[in-house]
Amino acid sequence: MNTKNKKNNTKKKTIRFGVSLGGDLLRSFDGHVREKNYTNRSEAIRDLIRDNLVSQEWEEGKEVVGTITIVYDHDIRELADGLTDLQHQSGMVQATLHIHLDEKNCLEVLVLRGRSGELKKIADRLIGTKGVKHGKLVMTTTGKEIS
């Protein structure tokens, strides 16, 4: 078997290892497992590891995806046009969802793809725009770097 096949088999093979934790930490972790409805501790640990790896992708400036959710007052003159212009200028917006919450407020969810630093910059610009009442950037992975 060549080296490449050995690496591929290792990636697919489940490796078992032990973890030592103090009693209080284990009880807290088990509470987390129950609260999140994990089947077992292993599933919870895998999710924690993946979450950490995704965070590293964002810190390292890799290509990532994210959503920006904003709530804004659509009665503010030229605000919607300004937000749309920023989205077009970024070149990273893949899709948008626009919802009329009531007679005055709108919600937009933007899906973006690009380098993490650039996504953070456009999120800050959109969220910091006068008339935006609240905004949040949620970051995730393209899935290329984790399994």
Digit-coded pLDDT (tens) for 47-57: 898 888 888 87
pLDDT at 129: 92
Flag whether pLDDT at 107 surpasses 90: yes
Digit-coded pLDDT (tens) for 8-17: 555 678 888 8
Digit-coded pLDDT (tens) for 17-45: 888 889 999 999 999 999 999 999 999 99
**What secondary structure letter does DSSP report for 24?**
H
Q: How far, CA to CA in Å, does 23 sit from each of 27, 28, 41, 44, 126?
A: 6, 9, 15, 17, 45
- Residue 121 · residue 54 · CB < 8 Å: no
Q: Per-domain residue ranges for the chain?
A: 23-60, 63-140
Rounded Cα distance, 81 and 123, in Å: 16
Average pLDDT, the chain: 88
Q: Within a 10 A sphere around the Cβ of 78, how many other Cβ atoms?
A: 9
**Predicted model pTM:** 0.73
- Residue 122 · residue 85 · CB < 8 Å: no
Strands (E), 25-116: 63-73, 93-100, 105-115
Superfamily of domain 63-140: ACT-like. Chain A, domain 2 (3.30.70.1150)
- Residue 98 · residue 47 · CB < 8 Å: no
Rounded Cα distance, 122 and 1, in Å: 48
